[in-house]
Amino acid sequence: MQSSQTIEFTLDWQHPYDALGTAFYTGVQPTPLSNVHWVARNHALAEQLGWPVHKWDSEKLLSALSGNSVLPGSQPFASVYSGHQFGVWAGQLGDGRALSLGLLDTAIGPQEFQLKGAGLTPYSRMGDGRAVLRSSIREFLCSEAMHGLGIPTTRALCLTGSPDRVLREELETAAVVTRVAPSFLRFGHLQHFAANGDTASLQLLVDHFIAKHFPHLLSVEAGPKRYTAMLARVTRLTAEMLAQWQAVGFCHGVMNTDNMSLLGLTIDYGPFQFLDGFDPAHVCNHSDHQGRYAYARQPQVAYWNLFCLGQAMLPLIEDQDMAVAALESFKTDYPMLTDQAFAAKLGLAGSQSGDHELIESQLKILAAEKTDFTIFWRRLSHATALLATQAPAQAFEKVRDLFMQHEGWDNWLPAYERRLQGQDLLKTSSQMLQTNPKYVLRNHLGEQAIQQAKIGDFSGVADLLRVLQTPFDEHPDFHHLAGFPPDWASSISISCSS
Ligand code: AMP
Ligand code: MG
């Protein structure tokens, strides 16, 4: 048998911006780390990419995906972008600690591979180009959790660690996440060239993006009409992503325009949080003193960010009214998509007048006591099946138990029951169980896995990866990962520092 150490990984790397030129990127070599080791490997993604799993054992791959060597044919680079941070123009940013290895044709289409934390780039500004184990575990797990929930996201292939010290609020150790996406282009990439008045580069980049990622738009007349159609498409994808975030209780935490993907992918996992109790005003990022990125404000912020994108594309769209019209679709699409998402969570078949009010009144009841968001929906999903054979009071008993004040719930339930009349309740329940996850990456779960990993035990990360990749399944052995958060969960402080 061939030793895994000798297996060559032959990959046909392409450079996504080769045709565009060096205005878009700078070639840069990763900076090695000492004594690198695997922390986690995502076999499911490797299989989807069409990479035989046994190649994971290769020392060469460990070295390359830690940034200690460069795979043959890869020409690593960092790209430049700008953006608004917390509503204020921040000027030039860029891949300060993300290095692209290039683009590969895979079984799930062309994918770009990036190392996050592989050292300084020309865009590192005051940073050190590194990522710490703590935040890298969070990014690795949350990327796959979002994918498991069916929410568009960049993916995470693996995570490597090193004992090398990295200074944050305290001394931590270095890690590198290999992340994968069809493109890592952000709103900020376009803002960069627009802010510099470089319309020629802006157009090159946008034409490239359309050709590679929205080829269906090539049938639209070239010029302003096509650029408007692209803006409308990004607006739609962003509305879809936001509706899904809200429906699962996901707070991103740093929705700066440089953290918004042109493909509508969730990107740049930092101080994110899945809500424990339902609190629309919840702010997960302790650096966000104004609450700009509170859960309930995310849709508005997305629209604000899209508006910045529209402004950046104005030199190409030429007509302000056309740009505004493309953006306006967010105002109808987002509420419609959100209502659809919450109607599915409630198991409502079809669409009826009064559904929106039913959803809104339910969310008010949850907000009143900050009821646990994930557990509420999961219990409701199970209760709906019981309603097929039991009286409502019995069927929904465990849901009712979630409230201290029962009045709101008791008043709401009859309207819900009436709305479900005529539906196959067993089928409805099983659909709800595929919509309302049992497992989400709550802060305290990530924190426990991080504390274990810090002392060299990566089993907690592996367990979480397993359940989060299929979060609608029961996984009876991991039931303890689906419980209420412990009291100490609310004291976990997550800032931008990563
Ligand atoms: P973020 O808030 O994580 O999206 O980062 C904003 C900008 O700062 C991006 O351009 C990042 O690449 C850069 N950045 C963040 N942390 C570091 C770091 N440790 N070293 C270099 N650049 C960083
Ligand atoms: Mg970022």
Ligand 1 midpoint to CA 174 (Å) = 15
Query: Is the domain of 166 the same as that of 35?
Result: yes
Q: Which residues pair with 291 in a beta bridge?
A: none
Q: Considering the chain, what is the average pLDDT of its residues?
A: 96
Distance (Å) from CA 186 to ligand 2 centroid:
9
Instruction: Grade residue 195 by pLDDT with cuts at 50, 70 and 90.
Output: very high
| pLDDT at res. 193 | 98
Reported as a single tens digit per residue, the pLDDT across 317-374 is: 999 999 999 999 999 999 999 999 999 999 999 999 999 999 999 999 999 999 999 9
Q: Report the alpha-carbon angle 4-154-170, nearest 5.
A: 85
Q: List, for residues 29-62, the tens digit of each pLDDT value.
A: 999 999 999 999 999 999 999 887 777 778 989 9
Is the distance from CB of 209 to CB of 201 less than 8 angstroms? Answer: no
pLDDT at 286: 93
> Residues with Cβ < 8 Å from 267, sequence gap 6 or more?
153, 154, 181, 184, 186, 259, 260, 261
Q: Which ligand is nearest to the CA of 267?
A: 2
Verify that 38 and 81 share a domain, yes or no: yes
Could you give the angle at the alpha carbon of 349 between the alpha carbons of 343 and 351, nearest 5°?
A: 65
- The domain of 460 spans 443-491
> In this predicted structure, what is the pLDDT of residue 8?
53
What Cα–Cα distance (Å) separates residue 24 from each residue in 14, 17, 104, 195, 202?
Answer: 15, 7, 19, 14, 10
Together in a domain, 34 and 159: yes
Residue length, the chain? 498
Q: Which long-range contacts (CB under 8 A, 24 or more apart) does 231-235 make?
A: 231/306, 231/309, 231/310, 231/313, 231/317, 231/323, 231/326, 231/327, 232/326, 232/329, 234/262, 234/264, 234/306, 234/309, 235/306, 235/326, 235/327, 235/329, 235/330, 235/333
- Domain identity same for 381 and 470: no
Higher pLDDT pick, 365 / 494: 365
Position 208 in a domain: no
Give the ligand 1 atom nearest the CA of 94.
Answer: 10
Q: Nearest Cα to 170, choosing from 122, 224, 219, 133?
A: 133
Place 1 in a pLDDT band, splitting at 50, 70 and 90.
very low
Query: Are residue 479 and residue 365 in the same domain, yes or no?
Result: no
pLDDT tens digits for 85-124?
999 999 999 999 999 999 999 999 999 999 999 999 999 9
Residue 210 maps to a domain: no
pLDDT at position 5 over 70? no
Q: Any idea what the Cα angle at residue 121 is, between residues 119 and 125, rounded to 5°? A: 105
Q: At residue 478, does pLDDT exceed 90?
A: yes
371 & 487 share domain: no
C-alpha 123 to ligand 1 mean position (Å): 9
Kindly state whether residue 288 falls inside one of the protein's structural domains.
no
In a domain, 284, yes or no: no
**Last residue of some domain: 433, 460, 482?**
433
What's the rounded Cα separation, in Å, for the pair 354 and 449?
A: 43
Looking at the structure, do residues 416 and 458 belong to the same domain, yes or no?
no
pLDDT at 197: 98
Q: Which amino acid is at 117?
A: G
> 441 phi and psi, to 5 degrees?
-80, 80
Task: Give Cβ neighbours of residue 380 (< 8 Å, ≥ 6 apart).
Answer: 345, 346, 396, 399, 432, 436
Does one domain contain both 36 and 162? yes
DSSP states along 270-305:
SS-EE-SB--TT----TT-TT-TT-GGGHHHHHHHH
pLDDT tens, position by position, 262-298:
999 999 999 999 999 999 999 999 999 999 999 999 9
pLDDT class of 6 with cuts at 50, 70, 90: very low
My answer on whether 397 and 486 are in the same domain is no
Q: Is 424 assigned a catalytic role?
A: no
Q: How far apart are the first and last CA of the chain?
A: 42
Q: What is the average pLDDT across 50-75?
A: 88
| pLDDT (mean) for 451-474 | 98
pTM beyond 0.95, yes or no = yes
Amino acid letter, 13: W
Cβ of 268 less than 6 Å from ligand 1: yes
Question: Could you read off the pLDDT of 415-459 as tens digits, one per residue?
Answer: 999 999 999 999 999 999 999 999 999 999 999 999 999 999 999
DSSP summary character for residue 222: T
Q: CA-CA distance, 42 to 176, in Å (whole number)?
A: 14
Q: Which residues, 6 or more positions from 32, have their beta carbon under 8 angstroms from its beta carbon?
A: 66, 67, 68, 119
Which residue has the CA at smallest separation from atom 22 of ligand 1? 96
Phi and psi torsions of 167, nearest 5°: -90, 120
User: Rounded to an integer, what is the distance from CA 390 to the centroid of its chain?
Assistant: 39
Q: Is residue 471 part of a domain?
A: yes
Indicate whether 88 and 150 sit together in one domain: yes
Residue 3 vs residue 288, higher pLDDT: 288
Among the listed residues 258, 279, 333, 463, the single catalytic one is: 258
Q: How many domains is the chain partitioned into structurally?
A: 3
- Final residue in a domain of this structure, among 181, 208, 228: 181
Is 300 within the bounds of a domain? no
Nearest to 454 by CA among 165, 43, 143: 165
What is the per-residue pLDDT for 54?
72
Residue 403 lies in a domain: yes
Of 385, 411, 433, which closes a domain? 433
Place of tokens 């429906």: 247
Which of 85, 115, 120, 123 should be mutated for ligand 1, with most atoms under 8 A from CB? 123
Pair 394, 484 in one domain: no
Residue with the nearest Cα to atom 12 of ligand 1? 96
Residue 136 inside a domain? The answer is: yes
Count other Cβ atoms within 10 Å, centred on residue 332.
10
37 plus 166 within the same structural domain: yes
